[in-house]
Homo-oligomer: A and B are copies of this chain.
C-alpha cells in the first residue's frame, strides 16, 4: 500500500506517510515538493525522503493527513482508497467500506504514533524522527491551539528514540528554516501550505505561512496579492485567502484579495480589513480557527 499525504504537502503530510508506511508495511510517498521546514528535517535527521508519486495504477492507497477529494494527490481516485488516517474534519464518500482512523488530535503523526502504541509495536528510529517532526510542526511545538494531551504524550514517547534532547530548540530551528522564504516567488509562498475547501457550496482557496519573521512576508503584500489574483482566476475559486502566522507571537494577519473576500472575512472574524489586510489576532490554526469561521460566515 502507498501512504501519501495531500497536495502541497506540509511536514506532517510527508512525515505521517513515513510513520504509516513503517507501521503497516507500505511505501511512503508524497504528492509534491516539500517545503523548507521539511527539507531542514530530512537534512537534519538524514532519513530518506519519500518520492513523489502521481501514478496509482494497480496500487492500493492509504491517505494520510487529508480525506477531502479537493486535496488528493494528482492522479488519485477515491476508488483506490483502502485506508484513511487523518485528524481533520471528514468530507468523504466511498463506494465500499474501507478502514478509517480519524482522531481530533494535533497532527496525523500523533494518530499514527498512537497506533504504534496500541499495536505494541516498536517504533523504528526513522519513523520516530519523522513523526516527532510531524507533531512539532502541526502543533507549533505543542504551543498551538490544536495541541492535545495526546500530542504531548506522543512527543514524550518519541523523543528518546530520536536522539533529540530539547524538542523546543529543535522546533525553533524547524520554524526558522521554514521562515527563510527570501528566494521564493510570491506564487511559491502562496502554495507552500495551500488547500482548497468546499464551504457552503463555494470553492475557497486558503494558504498559510507559519513564520518567525512575518515582516518579511508583509513587506511582499502587493506581490502576494497579485499571485493570489492569478491563482483565483486559474482555479476558478469563489474566494482566496492567505494567512501570515507569526508562530512566536501567536498572532496572524489575513490577506484579503478583493471585496468578495473582505465581506466574508470581516463577517467571520468580526474585524475591519484595511489595505487588503485583516488582523485576526490570536487565531493561528487554519483547521480549528480560520476555516470554521469562514465556513460559518459563508453559511449565514
Contact = CB atoms under 8 A, between A and B. Distances in A.
State which size class the interface on A falls in. Answer: 20 to 34
Interface string A82-109: 0000011111111111111111100000
Contact of A103 (B99, B103, B104): B99
A94 B92 CA distance: 10
Contacts of A97: 87-90, 102-104, 287
Given A99-B102, A99-B104, A102-B99, A91 B90 contact: no
A103 B83 CA distance: 9
A276 interface: no
A122 interface: no
A118 interface: yes
Contacts of A103: 97, 99
A107 to B, nearest CB: 11
A294 to B, nearest CB: 11
Contacts of A118: 118-119
A93 B91 contact: yes
Interface in A248-300: 287-288, 292, 295
B87 A90 contact: no
A97 B295 CA distance: 14
A100 B99 contact: no
Nearest to A94: B89
B90 A98 contact: yes
A98 B288 CA distance: 12
A232 to B, nearest CB: 24
A100 B90 contact: yes
A200 to B, nearest CB: 10
Contacts of A98: 89-90, 102, 104
Interface of A: 87-104, 118-119, 287-288, 292, 295
24 contacts: A89-B93, A89-B94, A89-B95, A89-B97, A90-B90, A90-B92, A90-B93, A91-B92, A91-B93, A91-B94, A92-B92, A92-B93, A95-B295, A96-B292, A97-B102, A97-B287, A98-B102, A98-B104, A99-B104, A100-B100, A100-B101, A100-B102, A101-B101, A101-B102
